[in-house]
Chains A and B, each alone.
Chain A
Amino acid sequence: GAVVSQHPSRVICKSGTSVKIECRSLDFQATTMFWYRQFPKKSLMLMATSNEGSKATYEQGVEKDKFLINHASLTLSTLTVTSAHPEDSSFYICSAREDSNQPQHFGDGTRLSIL
């Protein structure tokens, strides 16, 4: 079945550091990838939608300069949390779908802790 790989699984770093998270579709070409954020015991909050070769579409309230998204190929999207601060600590999850008729498949998530 469809496999989405997300790396790294866990990051602990100092305040002010920029962190890059990768999301790869391993056995299919993902025309669209999505980035979510999830707080403990809460639902998934969509941050942005990323289509290959075009600029990401950010949800209301998500700072595009803070959360840089790149989707340079059909199998890779990256999320960079720039100048991270403790309030950015969260579980970040990507998903990918092959086309509009296919379900989204999720990566294993990245737990980001900013000290």
Chain B
Amino acid sequence: GQSLEQPSEVTAVEGAIVQINCTYQTSGFYGLSWYQQHDGGAPTFLSYNALDGLEETGRFSSFLSRSDSYGYLLLQELQMKDSASYFCAVLSGNTGKLIFGQGTTLQVKP
């Protein structure tokens, strides 16, 4: 089967750095994506890693280690608006299906 594990909740203060980890077990792994979802809204694409290493996009970075079946999303200089749910998702096989983790609720406090 396929499964993804990520923490259910993370709390941090404004201006801090937070890392959200994701481990996965899947067949036909193509890459790892990260999505942000605010309450009541739809997921917004943040990043995609197909190869090992770090991808940086502004305040957000994402890392992948295929040998460890592990990745993380790093959020720097946290802002209140970053409070949301963050989902890691595995791109599985050539069908392009995304298998989502259960999501991590990030609460940013003043």
In contact, B98 and A107 (Cβ under 8 angstroms): no
Residue of A nearest to B30 (CB): A100
User: Chain B nearest CB: distance from A93 CB in Å?
Assistant: 6
A103 partner, pick from B48, B94, B102, B103, beta carbons under 8 A: B48
Chain A positions 20 through 46: 1 when the CB is less than 8 Å from some CB of chain B, otherwise 0: 000000000000101000000011111
User: Does B84 sit at the interface, judged by CB under 8 A?
Assistant: no
CB contacts under 8 Å to B, within A36-87, are 42-46, 49, 57
The total of chain B residues at the interface (CB under 8 A) is: 19
CB contacts under 8 Å to A, within B5-29, are none
Q: Which of B36-44, B60-68, B72-80 contacts A (4 or more CB under 8 A)?
A: B36-44
Report chain A residues within 8 Å CB of B103: 42-43
User: Does B70 sit at the interface, judged by CB under 8 A?
Assistant: no
Of all A-B residue pairs in the complex, the 3 with the closest CB atoms, nearest first, are A106-B42, A109-B42, A43-B100
User: Does A88 sit at the interface, judged by CB under 8 A?
Assistant: no
B95 partner, pick from A49, A106, A109, beta carbons under 8 A: A49
In the complex with contacts A44-B43, A105-B45, A100-B96 CB distance below 8 A:
yes
In the complex with contacts A43-B102, A49-B97, A100-B94, A108-B41 CB distance below 8 A:
yes
User: Does B71 sit at the interface, judged by CB under 8 A?
Assistant: no
In the complex with contacts A103-B33, A106-B44, A109-B41, A34-B97 CB distance below 8 A:
yes
In contact, A46 and B98 (Cβ under 8 angstroms): yes
Residue of A nearest to B101 (CB): A43
7 A-B residue pairings within 8 Å (CB atoms): A43-B87, A43-B101, A44-B98, A46-B98, A46-B100, A103-B45, A104-B33
